[in-house]
Chains A and B, each alone.
Chain A
Amino acid sequence: MADLAPSRSATIVVVDDDADIRDLIVGQLRQENYRLFGAANLAELRQHLRDEPVDLIVLDLNLPDGDGLSLCRELRADGSDVQIIMVTARGSAIDRVLGLELGADDYLTKPFEPRELLVRIRNLLRRGRSEPALRGAAAMRYAHFGPWRLDLQQRRLIAPDDKLVMLSSAEFRLLNRFLEEPNVVLARETLLPERRATAAFDRSIDLQVSRLRQKLAAIAGGDELILTVRGEGYVLASGVDYS
């Protein structure tokens, strides 16, 4: 979308059937110099979408004339790449996984911190449409590598006999990083970017890789998946398929 220039202020539609909540959210976001519209139901939202280009939708899931999930799926099916943040009350039938699978870009549970919403909106708008591939991958449930399957949603490893092996968050991130670039040697510094890896973290990276290796080696054929390349880093020696 070429017209999404940073200079133009972004257009946001807030969809919520509770007028107070809708107005309050609009009120908060107004400080940020966005073009804001409110919509009480799906019909109004569709109207806005027809009238002008919308960059982002803050979408409540339970609406009087339908649920946000199906709208989300509908928009994606039509090829729309408007950003969507789902907002839902906890304990609704849907969970985060399903929401993201159906094409939402982010997910918040009510009641939320207003600042949190603002941060997420900013992040999404800044990220723009540059990562459609990632969204595609996010819709995939399993990554196959070697004898293992990684359940990307539940964040656990599945052995060929369906036995589950649990991963810590750090291990999952690490493995995910390897899966993103299979058969590529990854330097230690690039493996845990969120920790701003320095030499001091090298130990901890080595430790985590060794733990991950231990878990992967629990079944036959899982012991030579992550190899050490001396002086360079580690490599995942396996192709990766998604399903």
Chain B
Amino acid sequence: MILLHWLGRVRSFFGTMAGQIFLILTLGMSVAAILALLVAEQARHHDFERVRRQRVVASAVDIAARLRHDPAGVEAMMAAHNIIGAYPAPEGVALSDTDSDLEKSLADRFGPQSQPEAAQLPVGLCFPDHKEEKDRAAGLIGAPRPDCWIVRFTDLGGQRRAMALTFPRIVKPGSTIFNPIYLIVIIAASAGLAILVARFVSKPLRRLERAAEAFSLSLDPEDVPEAGPEEVRAALSTFNLMQRRARAGFAERTQLLAAISHDLQTPLTRLRLRLELVDNVELRDRLLADHQAMQTLVREGLDLASSTEAREEWSVLDIDSLLASMAEDAQDLGQPVRFVSGCGGTVRVKPNALTRCIGNLVDNAVKYGGCAEIACEQVAGRLMIHVRDHGPGVPADQIDQMFEPFTRGPSSQPGGRNGTGIGLTIARSLAMSFEASVRLRNAEEGGLIATIEMKG
């Protein structure tokens, strides 16, 4: 279980941009570092070989110079093994695996006519007749045996020379790349840098995300501070512009609605006063009903318009006292509203907006569901106020539409259809003014649950 849990967390981490940048940078930088080390290793190998050849060339040049001065003497000394590191070449050895780099260096030193041949031979082939030396040197068995090179060239006198040159073996140090400590250091350094870069890159995105979230919750969010690298500043500034335009468009719509609703009140007042002059009672009652309907529309239009004006001050409020007193007030008016369970908490809201928001949900519950049960719940830093009815609910595919203005419950439902259908729109708009959200869902045992959710 724990393993699965961790696997899930790792997968979700690599699903994020930070995770992917981290992965790419860590792998990429590790591979690059290892490749660079391999190249360095190769260069080192080449240097090592060059140094070895330089020794051979220097030695061959030295012997050649001595031979030029005193050919017989030097040959005798070589034959008698009196020169350390230079001996006569063994007879009848074919140089099959010649070292072309070495031959080229020799040709540079002796001139092109020298036609040098050179090859490294196993020591045993260099000194086929010196087995006894090995036997004598019992104490040295296992000691590193010298490297042996056979060099042949034609000297300036036209004489073909052949010699065996020996050097103490230099042990080439082993490769360090695949030492686990090196690998760990490389990968750790890459990962460290990758984390830094990933955080650096994802930080402005997170800020933008938070700003977008704030915008989705509130109608009057703050501008995001435009700071950071140029691209980030440009994105944030565009976001702020969009936010301002959306707000301006919304404000314009609201003002229009408010202006129309407000101006309708004067003709409606006249109409109402004139209706008193109508003598035909039946006609008058019908006209009064029409007038009432128009007036309701105007009132709700104004409510909707004013709900988006979040001018109210924030206050800390005892939530249970609000819910209990609302239920009590509704009961006094004879409505079937109950306060079922409280949560004993306080919450920071705009009190009048919250009151009207709950009021709208309760009115809806009573109107379409026949009753309302108010409950409060506190879960993981969130506070939820549920308003539940026991009516027929709303088909699942129509729940989202319910928040659109002038949408009413399905017409197949029993019960009055006398609302204007903007109660929920107003409720949601009010909730946004104190950074809360309103959701609807059908209860499993029937009925609709409207939930206001906010920080708390």
Residue of A nearest to B291 (CB): A111
> Is B329's beta carbon under 8 Å from chain A?
yes
Some 25 contacts from A to B, beta carbons below 8 A apart, are A24-B270, A24-B273, A24-B274, A28-B273, A90-B265, A90-B299, A91-B258, A91-B262, A91-B305, A91-B306, A110-B266, A110-B268, A111-B291, A112-B269, A161-B316, A163-B316, A163-B317, A164-B317, A166-B317, A167-B321, A168-B324, A168-B332, A169-B325, A215-B321, A218-B321
Contact, CB under 8 Å: B272 / A166? no
* Closest A residue by C-beta to B349: A164
Within 8 A of B (CB), among A121-167: 154, 156-157, 161-167
Is B420's beta carbon under 8 Å from chain A? no
State whether A111 touches B271 (Cβ < 8 A).
yes
State in angstroms the CA–CA spacing of A138 and B114 once bound together: 126
B272 contacts which of A113, A163, A168 (Cβ < 8 Å)?
A113
User: Smallest distance from the beta carbon of A88 to chain B beta carbons, Å?
Assistant: 9
Given known A89-B266, A90-B302, A111-B295, contact A168–B318 (CB-CB < 8 A): no
Q: Is B273 within 8 A of A171, CB to CB?
A: no
- Number of A positions contacting B (CB below 8 A): 33
Q: Mark A90-125, 1 if CB is under 8 A from B, else 0.
A: 111000000000000000001111100000000000
Q: Which residues of A contact B276 (CB under 8 A)?
A: 24, 28, 114
**A168: which B residues are within 8 A, CB to CB?**
324-326, 328-329, 332
CB distance from A21 to the nearest CB of B (A): 6
Cβ < 8 Å to A, chain B residues 248-298: 258, 261-262, 265-266, 268-274, 276-277, 291, 295, 298
Q: Which DSSP category, helix, strand, loop or mixed, fits chain A's interface?
A: mixed
A165 to B261, CA, bound (A): 34
Q: Is B322 an interface residue (CB 8 A)?
A: yes
Kindly list chain A residues whose C-beta atoms are within 8 Å of the C-beta of B262: 89-92
Interface residues of A (CB under 8 A from B): 18, 20-21, 24-25, 27-28, 89-92, 110-114, 154, 156-157, 161-171, 211, 215, 218
B351 touches A164 (CB 8 A): yes
**B315 contacts chain A at the CB level, 8 A cutoff:** yes
The answer to the question of B176 belonging to the interface, with a C-beta cut-off of 8 Å to chain A, is no
A164 is contacted by which of B274, B306, B318 (Cβ under 8 Å)?
B318
Which of B273, B306, B326 touches A25 (beta carbons < 8 Å)?
Answer: B273
Q: Kindly list chain A residues whose C-beta atoms are within 8 Å of the C-beta of B270.
A: 18, 20-21, 24
CB of B270 to closest CB in A, whole Å = 5
Which chain B positions have C-beta within 8 A of A90? 262, 265, 298-299, 302
A92 to chain B: closest CB distance in Å? 8
B40, chain A: closest CB distance, angstroms: 70
B:317-376 near A, CB below 8 Å: 317-318, 321-322, 324-326, 328-329, 332, 346, 351-352, 355
Contact between A166 and B332 (Cβ–Cβ < 8 Å)? no
Q: Which of B265, B277, B352 has most A Cβ within 10 Å?
A: B265
Residue on B with the closest CB to A219? Answer: B318
Q: Are A21 and B269 in contact (CB under 8 A)?
A: yes
Query: When the two chains form the complex, which single residue of B272, B306, B315 contacts A114, counting CB atoms closer than 8 Å?
Result: B272
